[in-house]
Every structure is written in C-alpha cells, then in structure tokens.
Amino acid sequence: MKFGINTFLFTFPFTNESTKWFPTFKKWGFDSVEIAVDDPAAIDPTHIRTQLDRAGITCCSVCGAFGPDRDLRGTPEAQANSAKYLMALIDQAAMFGAPVVAGPVYSAVGRRNAEEPAAKKQQWKTVVKNLKPICKYAEKKGIVIAVEPLNRFETDFINTVEQALELIADVGSPALKIHLDTFHMNIEQKNQAEAIKKAGKLLAHFHACGSDRGTPGNDHIAWDEIAKALKKVKYDGGVVIESFTQDVKIIAAAAAIWRQIEPSREEIATKGLKFLRKTLA
C-alpha cells in the first residue's frame, strides 16, 4: 500500500504554487499525494512532475472535482464538458505518473432528486454511453478510472458498492474499477468490510476518512475489520486521507464543514497516517 494525502485538505484550486506542500507531505511520512485538479489548463504537468520527483513523493491518483457543468447524465453541454474534463485528467495522471483517476465521475456532486424509475434508467444509459469512450481512452493511456459511490446527501445516482459494480459491468471496460471511501460507506453500507470484499479485485483506490471527516482512527469506524478485508482482497493500492477543515473555505462549504472537527489539519495528517500505517500496513 501507498499512504497518501489529498490536497483538498491544504489548497484549492490546485495550482503550480500548490506544489510547495509536497516537501511537507514527504516530511510527515507520506508515500504519495492525491492531487485534486479543478482546472487542468491552470497547471503545468511537467512542473508538477518535477516537483513530485524533487520532493521524493509520488502521485497515487488524480481526483476530479465535479460541479454542475461536469455531469455525464446532465445537459448535452454538461456531458460534453465532463467528458473533455475527464480526458484531460487522464492525460495529466499519465504525466504525473499516477495510475488512477478517482472520484464520482458519473455526475455532478450535490445532484440529488427523487427521480422516476424511467428517468433514472435513461440517465443510467446516458452515463454508460458516455463512459465507454472515456474508458477506451484510459485503456490506451494505461490509467484506471476508479468510480466512487457517494452518500445519499451528495448524489442520488451511485451510493453503494453494488451499484458501482453494476455500472462497471454495463460499461464493460477493464479501465473502470472502484474507489471506496470510509466516510461514504459509513452512511450507505451495512458493513464496510463486506463492501470491500464485494469490490474484491476491482477495488483500485481507497479513501481512509474519519466517520466525521476528521482523523482516521479518532472515530467509531471498525478499522480492524477494514484492515482484515483489505488483506482478504489483497489490496495494494493507494490509501488516502481525504479529510476537510475550515482552512480551505470553498471546500469547507462544499463538504459542509461548519465547525472545527480536529485541532488542526496537520494533526489530521500526521496522527491519521500513524494510525493507518499501524492498522492497515
């Protein structure tokens, strides 16, 4: 496993200047960084890769940011914009040396409605149709797209590992796999360990978050059972802390962080990493 930290905790949007955090992440003991890219055109991939190498840290994944104008089941314009965005993330992941593009690639975050079955079925077909050429492109680039189920308050489309597996089966590409997140699973899955086992060999990326979005280990999640499940499926990919504080205002608002959950983001990173290495490695 490679233990990483998501840049959402420290900076957004990510720019060339944001690479100043890489040496700090390395000093804290992280193997890798998950780069959350909002605007691919606003960063220089060559500069990012140089700074990763200089800091002696890898990029385990590129994380997407899906607003209303990036929606594979949205308006034709939103679908086209999201497809173009995902292609750019795939290109940048390849340049960063990251094996995975992760996140809720299927829809805009925050879109949640009580859709009629017929409308939901049509949206599903639209997402499958849109993902097929994107996955073909990912295959050519040697990149995995890891689709992330979100909780019911952030999407009405894919909330569980079972739904993600159904999407993967319908798209039919070896480039499409699963990204699980303990925060979302804590809300949507009956048993997180069983969800991991159900994902099995298709698990390509993993977010280790506290049940309240705080420090992993400083919460009620059954981490020992998760560790056993990851071992059972022989998971050897990225394990990333994706937590949030009020320091990055735009992300705090998007993630509904209305209070100070932990003393500091440094504590989330360092104590979380120490716990995860002890528990999961």
Q: Which of 34, 154, 242, 262 is catalytic?
A: 242
CA atoms of 7 and 38, how far apart (whole Å): 11
CA-based R_g, the chain, Å: 17
Vertex 179: Cα angle to 137 and 229 (nearest 5): 135
Q: Which of 148, 154, 188, 262 is catalytic?
A: 148
Residue 148 bears catalytic tag: yes
Q: What are phi and psi of 36, to 5 degrees?
A: -90, 110
* Number of neighbours of residue 156 by Cβ within 10 angstroms: 16
Confirm if 240 and 6 have CB atoms less than 8 A apart.
yes
Q: Exposure pattern of 269-281 as b/e (b: 16+ CB <10 Å)?
A: bbbbbebbeeebe
* Residues linked to residue 240 through DSSP beta bridges, in sequence order: 4, 207
Residue 242 bears catalytic tag: yes
Confirm if 248 and 8 have CB atoms less than 8 A apart.
yes
Give catalytic residues, as residue numbers: 148, 242
